[in-house]
Amino acid sequence: MFPELIDTRPLRRAIDDGLNWVVRNWGGELEAAAYPLLMLLNAIERLLVATPWWLIFLILGGVAWLATRNWRLPALVLVSLFFLGLMGLWRDAMATTALMIAATLTVIVASIPIGVWMSRSLRVRQIITPILDLMQTLPSFVYLIPAVMIFGPGKIPALLATIVYAAPPLVRLTDLGLRSVDPAVMEASRSFGTTPGQRLFGVQIPLALPTILAGVNQTTMMALAMVVIASMIGAGGLGYQVLQGIGRLEVSRGLFAGLGIVVLAIIFDRITQSFGKQLQARIGLSEAR
């Protein structure tokens, strides 16, 4: 046994007391600040549940066709959606999709500006990179503890935990994409007298879009990976069915819900990847010209 060199109990007690103080004094304010996220999640879920199944088939099938311009991906999407309905997982799949969409939209709004900031400042990158490393390596159960203490079990801590877990890839890939733009292209844009803002929005971001979209793809997959853990604190959806299958030792319930999560992952992964390939092809064609 390793010798006990220091007593960590005072440090642990100080951390616990500090969090309890935050809950007592700022719990209401933090809940109010997070309330718009709950409204967003509930609005998306109500919209998806109220939308007729055939319309969702048409929308996702159409988006898949726009992403590939052939019938293979739309056929895969339609078969996958049919599987969800056939197995009685439609309502839970819509709840899971709502959580994924709400988390992904929030991450996009927050992460892309941070990635832009990192790409323009070495010091900012040096500060934020260790934070991203911590967010990616820290077990999700660890940051569920303060989230549940502050907000209580429910959708808000589940959504916040999903956002924290899914944000790092998009921040990193936004930074990477902007820094990977050809210096010759940037120099040519400067020679035309463009401002930094014009170079960012007119040159860097359009050329970095395939990399940024790859970050969106990774964010989507990581958000879906959190659904089982999020179900433990009240998120519901397919993850809750998996949890019920574990608790009741119902293999079929857990298996079908797990396959439902895989089906959703395949749908959104293939669609976002296809749009990324389209952008890469267009950028390559424009550069060739």
pLDDT in tens, the chain (289 residues): 767 778 788 888 998 888 888 888 888 888 888 889 989 999 999 999 999 999 999 999 999 999 888 889 999 999 999 999 998 999 999 999 999 999 999 999 999 999 999 998 899 999 999 999 988 888 877 777 888 888 888 888 889 888 988 999 999 999 999 998 888 888 888 888 888 888 888 888 888 888 999 999 999 999 888 877 888 777 788 888 888 898 888 888 889 999 999 999 999 999 988 888 887 777 664 554 4
User: Model pTM?
Assistant: 0.88
CB neighbours of residue 5 within 10 Å: 6
Residues whose CB falls within 8 Å of the CB of residue 214, separated by 6 or more in sequence, listed in order: 173, 276
Please tell me the total count of domains within the chain: 1
3-state secondary structure of 200: helix
Q: Residue 237 gets which letter from DSSP?
A: S
Q: Residue 204 gets which letter from DSSP?
A: I
- Read off the tokens for 93: 């799949």
CA nearest to 100, candidates 165, 36, 51 = 165
User: CA 180 to CA 55: how far, in whole Å?
Assistant: 40
- The stretches of the chain forming alpha helices (DSSP H) are 9-50, 53-68, 72-86, 90-120, 122-137, 140-151, 155-179, 183-191, 196-199, 205-225, 227-231, 238-248, 251-288
User: CA 237 to CA 230: how far, in whole Å?
Assistant: 9
In-domain check, residue 5 = no
CB neighbours of residue 185 within 10 Å: 14
* pLDDT for 284: 62
CB neighbours of residue 98 within 10 Å: 25
In-domain check, residue 11 = no
CA nearest to 222, candidates 140, 150, 115 = 140
Assign residue 225 the CATH number of its domain. 1.10.3720.10
CB 100 within 8 A of CB 280: no
In-domain check, residue 26 = yes
In-domain check, residue 3 = no
* pLDDT for 247: 84
CB neighbours of residue 56 within 10 Å: 18
In-domain check, residue 174 = yes
List the Cα angle 249/250/254 in 5-degree steps.
110
* pLDDT for 283: 67
Residues whose CB falls within 8 Å of the CB of residue 229, separated by 6 or more in sequence, listed in order: 140, 141, 144, 161, 239
* pLDDT for 60: 93
CB 148 within 8 A of CB 237: no
Number of residues that make up the chain: 289
Distances (CA, A) of 17 to 21, 121, 172, 202, 221: 6, 36, 34, 50, 36
User: CA 100 to CA 231: how far, in whole Å?
Assistant: 13
Structural domain boundaries enclosing 65: 19-288
